[in-house]
Amino acid sequence: MTTIQHAAPAVRSGPTVHRADTAPNRRRGGDIRVLLSPTSVGATAGFMGTLTLEPGEVVTEHWHPYSEEYLYCVSGEVSVRLDGEERRLPAEAAVHIPIGVRHRIVNDGPTTAFFVFMCGPLAPRPELGHVDTEPAPGPNGAR
C-alpha cells in the first residue's frame, strides 16, 4: 500500500482580529472598522469589517470602481440608496452592491444599527478603492 504525503500548506492562517482593537474610521460617517484586510492579515481577495450607525448618522455616498460590496444588517434598520433608488434594509437582511453602484446609508430609525460588510476584489491601490460623490458628514456624523 502506498502512503500519500501531503505538502505543508504554503500559507498559514492569519491572526484573529478583534473589533475593540481596531480604530474606527469616521471619514465617510458612522463607525467603520476594517478588521480583515491586506494590512491586518495579508488578505489578497478583499476586505471585511463592521459599521455602526447611531440614529441620525449617515455614511456618505460613494462607489467602488474595482470592488463589489456585501452589506449585512445585524441589528437596527436603515435606509440605503443605491444609484438613487431608496430601499429599507432591516435587521438580518443583506444587500449586494455591484461594482460602480453609488451607495449611501442613513440610520433614520430610533436605534443603533450594526452591520458586517465585505468588499472584493481589491483595488490596485487602497486610495483607488472608493470614489466619494458627496462631502464628508459634519462632526456628529449627521448629514
Task: Count structural domains, the chain.
Answer: 1
pLDDT at 106: 98
Question: Would residue 91 count as lying in a domain?
Answer: yes
Confidence of residue 110 (pLDDT cuts 50, 70, 90): very high
Residue 108: give its domain's CATH number: 2.60.120.10
Measured distance between the N- and C-terminal CA atoms of the chain, rounded to whole angstroms:
70
pTM: 0.86
pLDDT, tens only, 15-34: 899 999 999 999 999 999 99
Work out the burial of residue 103: count CB atoms within 10 Å of its CB; fewer than 13 is exposed, 13-18 middle, 19 or more buried. buried
- Is position 16 within any domain? no
Asked whether residue 133 is assigned to any structural domain, the reply reads: no
pLDDT at 143 over 60: no
> In this structure, is residue 66 part of a structural domain?
yes
Please tell me the least confidently modeled range out of 17-21, 76-80, 91-95, 133-137. 133-137
Report phi then psi at 127, rounded to 5: -70, -10
Could you tell me if residue 124 is inside a domain? Answer: yes
Structural domain includes residue 81: yes
Does 5 map to a domain? no
Report the DSSP beta bridge partners of residue 94: 72
User: Which structural domain, as residue segments, surrounds residue 45?
Assistant: 28-128
